[in-house]
Structure 1
Amino acid sequence: MAEDQPPQPVKADTTNSTPTEGYDKKCIFCRIVNNEMGTELLHNDGDLSCFRDIKPGAPHHYLVVPNKHVGNCKSLNKEHVPLVKQMVDVGKDVLQKNSVTDLTDVRFGFHWPPFCSVTHLHLHVLAPVSQMGFMSRLIYRLNSYWFVTADQLIELLNSKAETN
């Protein structure tokens, strides 16, 4: 009976059984978004999904990813600025749904290639930053060669368009 079934995590919108365009079967994040890994999705709106990081660097550490496979942040251009902004908005929404009210003590950012373990674009959402340990402060350090904030990435993408 349906009442005997355990609650299921929020599933990605899969209207057909065949993965859609923009799906990379070798990509762990594509597989998570397509509910092939059993990872609980905290958010899925058809365009973006959010789930917990498996190695949290803060009490609240989430990853926001596009549902379609998009390369790392070096592959983006000015047309991707709205996507990055939308990813930040989803991150803020998930934080607020998880009782994080101080949005001044958060960090939104991306690892800069080649310092990415997964090439599918993903925004790290970390809170509270004040409770991050030593290693997390190093890994998600501002103004480093390996991590850029969402604001820095947006500024970079906008400046790319001006130089082209």
Structure 2
Amino acid sequence: MSTLSHDPNCLFCKIIAGQIPSKKVYEDAELLVFNDIQPWAPVHFLMVPKLHIPSMAQLQPEHAELVGRMMVLAPQLAAQEGCRPYPEGGFRLIANTGDDGGQEVQHLHFHVIGGPRPWRKG
């Protein structure tokens, strides 16, 4: 599978293009971060690269800087959105990959989930 700049049939590409509304948490030239429409916890947002990368399985060396930025940004946005600081607080970072991994939208994204419990999920 190749990496496209945009897939007109992709839900997240439509959100990035502004065709579908979202509640933005953060945006820059390469990333869009928005709240999940079916949150599992008090804090639940998605980090999505604007470049259409179908999944973790399609990451290439040229994506390392982008994914690294996402990893550095995740704890900053988690704190901004209400997660308590580490170690008492914290958050979960999830990237479902492929059908067996539970991926529902074929566009690389990270779920950042946190906040006061009880919201435990598998």
* TM-score interval for Structure 1 and Structure 2 normalised by the shorter chain: 0.7 to 0.9
Q: Which of 107, 117, 120 is 2:107 aligned to?
A: 120
Structure 1 residue 129, shift from structure 2 partner? 7.5
| TM-score scaled by length of structure 2 | 0.82
**Are 2:22 and 1:35 aligned?**
no
Q: 1:70 to 1:26 in 2, by over 3 A?
A: same
Contact map agreement 1:64 1:90 (CA 8 A) in 2: no
Q: CA RMSD in A?
A: 1.9
**Are 2:8 and 1:25 aligned?**
yes
Which protein has the bigger helix share?
A: 1
Letter of the structure 1 residue corresponding to residue 30 of structure 2: D
| TM-score scaled by length of structure 1 | 0.63
Which protein has the bigger strand share?
A: 2
Aligned length: 115
Structure 1 residue 31, shift from structure 2 partner? 0.8
Letter of the structure 1 residue corresponding to residue 98 of structure 2: P
Deviations 1:61-87 (A, max 9, x none): 110000121111111134333222211
Which ranges in structure 2 are unaligned for 5 or more consecutive residues?
Answer: none
Structure 1 residue 132, shift from structure 2 partner? 2.2
Identical aligned residues as a percent: 27
Instruction: Name which structure has the greater RCO, CA cutoff 8 Å, separation 6+.
Output: 2
